[in-house]
Amino acid sequence: MPTRCRKGGPLIQSPFRHKYQHPEYCGYPGFDVYCDEKNDTVLVLPNSVKVIVKKIKYVSQLVHLYDPGKCLSQKLPYLNLSVSPFHFVDMRNIDDYNLFNCSVRHSDPYNSISCLGDSSNFIYAIPSDYDFDTFDLTSCTSVHKISSVPWYIFHKTDLHLAWSEPACGLCERRGQRCNLKNYTRGHQIQCIEKVKTNPGGSNKPLIPGATLGSVLLVTIFAALFLLYRSIRVDKENELKIEKFLEDYRALKPTRFSYSDVKRITNQFN
């Protein structure tokens, strides 16, 4: 059943799964998310790089992420998308970079990373094929090598990734959602009908209007039947009482005076 970490948060459904609420067969390997103490949706990328899921576009198969520490460059040395189902949206501007820690600010700061440096240390991301004759490295020390990332990532706290498999966008464009075929953690998917949920992120199924109307109609008829039966029983009891009183009245002895008896019997003759 699709769910959310909080109202307005991204919808968690196949190929994503809530690792503490959904069975394994509900999601695709590498798409496990969970809710943190702030009710943010957390995705863990290889290797142990935690990012917050801001939005998931199931039709276009895109996911919008951001770093809660507001310094995504700090996590780049540990990020390895080659073993992840996700990849950068624009694969044309991918390059390898060397990170240098320089004690002197350069007048031509190529990809200066302000969130990693301070007043006495200046961090720069230099492409591996950069002509170092134009960049003085005498005051710099190489600290990290980062492979296969776009140049703009050093200036962003947000990250946009895409996925190719599973191709759930095909199901979404039909108004359906995808599920793993045969309910296994394999790669094959199938399209299934969506289950309507309450607005605002609640994962409780909505009762269709026709069903709700039927329930109300049956309840009203049941109440009317019980009322009719109660009135009918009361009326029948009332009739029985009236009949009993009428019968009793007909059998009641009549009292005569002594003079009446003499007159009726012709002086007891």
Report the alpha-carbon angle 165-168-173, nearest 5. 140
C-alpha–C-alpha distance, residues 127 and 149, integer Å: 10
First-to-final CA distance of the chain: 104
Q: How much is the pLDDT for 97? A: 92
C-alpha–C-alpha distance, residues 40 and 10, integer Å: 9
Q: How much is the pLDDT for 203? A: 44
User: How many CA within 13 A on the CB side of residue 71?
Assistant: 11
Nearest to 98 by CA among 59, 167, 144: 144
The reported pTM is 0.66
Q: How much is the pLDDT for 227? A: 76
C-alpha–C-alpha distance, residues 196 and 207, integer Å: 9
Run means of pLDDT, 10 residues per run, the chain, 269 residues: 92 92 86 95 93 96 94 90 92 88 78 85 88 77 91 88 92 86 68 66 46 69 75 72 64 70 79
* The dihedral sign for the CA sequence 90, 95, 101, 105: negative
C-alpha–C-alpha distance, residues 55 and 63, integer Å: 6
C-beta separation of 73 from 154 below 8 A? yes
Residue 213, H or E segment: helix 209-251
Q: How much is the pLDDT for 254? A: 67
C-beta separation of 75 from 67 below 8 A? yes
What tokens appear for 167 in the block? 């191709």
DSSP code for 125: E
Nearest to 186 by CA among 14, 25, 33, 16: 25
- Beta-carbon neighbour count of residue 50 at 10 Å? 15
For the chain, give every domain's residue range. Answer: 1-70+157-200, 209-264
